[in-house]
Amino acid sequence: MIDALIRSGEVSQEDVQNNKLHYRLKLFGEPVLGGPRHGYLRLSCWAEGLGADRNAERFSYSGPQLDRPGCDDLVSGVGIIEAPKLIRDLVRDGNLDLTKDEFQGVVAGVWSMAEPFVSGLDWDTWVELFLLNGFTNDGTYANRPAGPLDLYRGATEDKKRGMAWTTDIDVARSFAYDRISNRSVGNVYVAHVAPAVTLAFICDRGLHENEWVIDPRALRDDDIRLVEVVEDDPRPASSRRQRSQQ
């Protein structure tokens, strides 16, 4: 069965090796019968009412009204890569009201689980979800900062305008220079960011990155200033992470 899926082009060897959700759906998925999502697939471990198309690009839910534990169970079931698409579809289908207090921090939590853009969600969708969910500080409702922030970002020049920033320049240096998640070596940038642009603050998840998620659409290229290039890395060699490529 696996060889047939690979030969047909429906999955790749990499999908199999990484146990991608669309591969598991095609191999183990059970059909969802009836309703508007007739023909969707589900895994036996998923909560009742949850289904997805064969490529795991679109999710549907027709189960009991969701509370926070139920939402968390759905997220856990689909995994960290596909969870952003699940939240998007639950909201757009009217199954998840991110404005309710019990769901505070859901979007920031899903954002911080993995690489946020691997799921395919773009800026507009992420910003829409964050705004619906309200500003949070480590998953709890909070006031936005009282004044502007100087925030740093480690990135290549073409990605200097993004959603993830930090108040800690050493964290930005790590993202710029240390090829975290196989990123290309980049530079360190700083931006003066207005409070209204901030979407969430995330720190207490073990990484202590002092991450500020912002709406990058409010930044112009000339709002972002180059601080350091890779040749200027000021850290002692002993404090740098081992680079995955030289």
20 and 129: one domain? Answer: yes
144 and 129: one domain? Answer: no
Question: Looking at residue 232, what is its pLDDT?
Answer: 56
What SS3 state is found at 199?
Answer: strand
What SS3 state is found at 90?
Answer: helix
CA–CA separation, 211 and 188 (whole Å): 15
Question: Looking at residue 16, what is its pLDDT?
Answer: 58
What's the pTM value of the predicted model, to 2 decimals? 0.86
Residue 5 has pLDDT above 70, yes or no: no
Higher-pLDDT residue of 11 and 54 is 54
Residue 242 has pLDDT above 60, yes or no: no
Share of the chain above pLDDT 90, in %: 63
pLDDT in tens, 57-99: 999 999 999 999 999 999 999 999 999 999 999 999 999 999 9
pLDDT in tens, 131-144: 999 999 999 999 99
Upper half-sphere CA count for residue 88 (Cβ side, 13 Å):
22
Token pair 């969600």: residue: 121
Phi, psi of 24 (to 5 degrees): -65, -35
Contact 67, 94 (CB under 8 A): no
185 and 127: one domain? Answer: no
Mean of pLDDT values over 104-128 = 93
6 and 20: one domain? Answer: yes
Evaluate the CA torsion angle 171, 174, 180, 185 in order and state its sign: positive
C-alpha triplet 145, 147, 153: angle, nearest 5°: 75
| Domain residue limits at 124 | 2-134
Higher-pLDDT residue of 231 and 166 is 166
Residue 210 lies in a domain: yes
Q: CB neighbours of 113 closer than 8 A, spacing ≥ 6? A: 80, 83
176 and 195: one domain? Answer: yes
CA–CA separation, 136 and 158 (whole Å): 29
Residue 244 lies in a domain: no
Residue 181 lies in a domain: yes
174 and 205: one domain? Answer: yes
Question: Looking at residue 244, what is its pLDDT?
Answer: 29
Average pLDDT, the chain: 86
Give the model's confidence band at 241: pLDDT under 50 very low, under 70 low, under 90 confident, else very high: very low
